[in-house]
Each structure stands twice: as structure tokens, then as C-alpha cells.
A and B are shown apart, each in its own frame.
Chain A
Amino acid sequence: MSSYEKGWKEVSIAGVCWLPSTKYLTGDWSPYKPVRDKAKCNKCLLCHMYCPDGAVIWNSKAEDIEFNYNFCKGCGICANECPQGAIEIILK
């Protein structure tokens, strides 16, 4: 991390953050990950609304839901709230 951190002379005034947090992957926080049964899913998008990490993405081109495992913290809210029971939490 220190290799690309700026020194005190280059840091902006008041130490304003300058890297997007998308460069910090939180996907390895949990041993669990969600998997979706495409046959059961009716794309109601509740999993997208209830994901704390924005890790459930609506791909408008493919008209489908995708999980971004780089950021999923494996909390299991999507599996708990899915009205179709289409999401399952499994060990990675």
C-alpha cells in the first residue's frame, strides 16, 4: 500500500482522499458467497435494493442480475430476503 501512497509534500491540503474505494476489494472479508438459481429468479431486484455493498448489479444490456464478488461481504441479506428463494449462500 505504501508504494503508491503520496509523501507529505505531495498530499493535497487537508489530506483529501484521492483514490476511489473501488480499488479496495472487500470481497475477501467473508468465507461465504451468494449463488443464484437463474431458473427460479424473476428479477424483482430486491437483492439489488437490499445489498449494503452495491455488489448486486443490474446489467441492463444482458437484462440480468450479476454478483460482484470483488465487493460482496457475504452478509446473506439477499438470500434471506429473496421472495423466490433463488439465492443460496455457500462456502467459497
Chain B
Amino acid sequence: MSFTWKFTAREIAEKPELLAPGHRMCSGCGAAIVHRLVLKAVRGPTIVTHPTGCVEVTTAIYPYTSWRVPWVHTAFETAAANAAGIEAAFKALRRRGRLKYDHVDVMAFAGDGGTYDIGIQALSGALERGHDFLYVLYDNEAYMNTGIQRSGGTPLGAWTTTTPAGTKIPGKPEPRKPIEDIVVAHGVPYVATASPAHWMDLVVKARKGLEAKGPAFLHVIAPCPRGWRYESSKTIELSRLAVETCVFPLWECVDGEHKLSAPSKAIALKPDLKKPVVEYLKAQGRFSHLFTPEFERVIDEIQRVVDKRWYLLLKKCSV
């Protein structure tokens, strides 16, 4: 896959805002930043589909809509199936000569609930059938829209309303599901992780995903001030910390070959730069119960899980 698109910050800033202001996402919302940046990477006519989730309910409150691209809302479990259907419909139209565009990009955005838990069978099916679409997972690590319930993406030890930290459990007892590895195992042409703090990396990866011939998957961390319990101005700081502590390393996988992206590669080459996971945990209120004598051991457990996954990733990238 050859990739030639080059751009400057000014060119990106001059691109039209496809997610119009006036949406009702919370102040300091990470998902809003992710959507704005990913939509800066579109290369022509694009159709976007969304399952139920934070962004869906906040951008299309009747009678207002924030979408300046054709946009379809679908049920919680069917984001990927819907995107597959749109792509198949365009194929059929092209076959009959009824399509005036050379190419139409299809994007599906879904939250962690709509991907890790509810939407995984539709996603798996669409990846297996090989439809040409980009699936963007904006991961705020719980069902934030309905009030912070745990999902498959919630990390170990995090407080949520359905895994309350008390005397019995220290927040969520299980580590999060490695969704990227599940997608990589389907053998799709492009899989990547990104963080809005490294915005250029995110825009480039979104465009690479669109250009890939076949299904592409982009996993983006989207800190949530309400659910993660931190001050709204720290959104970007936290998404950067997640990369620096290797909780959320950045890499891409082209045709099954893993490659670390620049911010994570710097850590891989200079292990001193890797920050302890405590720095990431203490910035968030959802982990505040871990800093008591009762649950201190969970921090070590989190560090162990993060180190293990980082080690396995380095092996895959042969660093």
C-alpha cells in the first residue's frame, strides 16, 4: 500500500467542518475531537453511519442535525452490517451504471459498547465478507451515554455504576478485551490504533483506512470527562498519557504486519521514557479508590497487565 498524502496544519484547518458546531456533546468531550479529526481525512463523497451511542444521540436531536455528510443512524448492534449494506448498494448501482461518482467512501463510527459487546457479530461478519469500509471505534471505555455502565472495553480496576468500588470488588475485576487483536485475526488489510493527542497520526491513519482496499479498522481512545471523572480541560492530556504509559500504545497493522507508530516507537527504543501506569490512574477519579491501602495491590496488577500486553506488542512488531 503506497501512501502519498501530505498536508500541513493550515490545510487541515481550512478543510470544512463536517461535524457542525452546536452538537450537544459534553464540554471537553474526547469523542467530538475524534470525530472532527477523522472527518478531516475524507477524500470525496462519503456516507457515515452510526449506531446508538453518545455521538448519535447528541448530534441528531430532533429537529437539529450536526452532520454535513449523508448520515444514517442504525440500531445498536448493526453499525458494521449497515456500512456493509451501503457499500453493497453502491456496488449494485455502479454495476447498473446509475452512480455518478467514481467512488463513495463508507465510514461507520461506533462506541465501545457498540463494538466490543453489542456490535461484535455484525463487525465480525462484515470483516469476513470483506466489504470496503472504514470502521472507527471511539473508545470511551464504558457505556457513557446511559450513565457509565461497564462494557467489554472498561479497563481493570475502573469504577463504573455497574462495577462500583466497595468492600467486595475494586471496580471492574477483569481487564479489557483486546478488540484490535480480534480484528487483526480476521486478516483485514488495515488495522490501527490512534489517540487524538497525536492528531496528525490520527488523520493520516483515518485516510490510510479509507484508501485501504477492503475493511479497515481504527481504534481511537476518546477520554470522557464525565465517566472518567476528571476536569474537562484534561482530555488531550489524558489521551497523551495513555500513550506514554503504554496503556494505549499506537501501532498499525498493514496486511497482518505490525508496525509501531512514532510516539510508541520512541518509547520502544528508549524504555526510560515509559511512564509508570500510576500517573495515568491518579489523574482520573474513576481509579481514585485504588489509592487506598485496601486496593493498592490492584495497581500492581494493572501495571502487570499493561506490561504484558506491551511486551507482546513489541514481539509482534519485532522491536
Interface residues of A (CB under 8 A from B): 5-6, 15, 17-26, 29-30, 44-46, 48-55, 58, 60, 68, 70-71, 73-77, 79-81, 89
Contacts and interface: CB of A to CB of B under 8 A. Distances in A.
The contact size tier of chain B is 35 or more
The 7 closest A-B pairs by CB, nearest first: A76-B233, A75-B28, A21-B22, A52-B32, A17-B65, A58-B13, A73-B27
Contacts of B5: none
Interface of B: 9-10, 12-14, 17, 19-30, 32-33, 36-37, 59-66, 196, 199, 225, 231-237
Contacts of B232: 75-77
Q: Choose among B10, B26, B27 the residue with the greatest number of A CB atoms under 10 Å from its CB.
A: B27
B199 A49 contact: yes
A50 B196 contact: yes
B33 A21 contact: no
A41 to B, nearest CB: 14
A77 B21 contact: no
Contacts of A76: 28, 231-233
Nearest to B8: A45
B221 to A, nearest CB: 14
Contacts of B23: 21, 26, 53
Nearest to B202: A49
Contacts of B199: 46, 49-50
Given A17-B65, A51-B33, A52-B29, A23 B22 contact: yes
B233 A49 contact: no
A71 B21 contact: yes
A76 B258 CA distance: 36
Given A77-B28, A77-B33, 5 more contacts: A30-B27, A46-B199, A73-B27, A75-B28, A77-B233
Contacts of A77: 28, 33, 232-233, 235-236
A6 B63 CA distance: 9
A19 B67 CA distance: 10
Contacts of A20: 20, 22, 64-66
Given A17-B63, A77-B28, A53 B14 contact: no
Contact of B21 (A17, A46, A54): A54
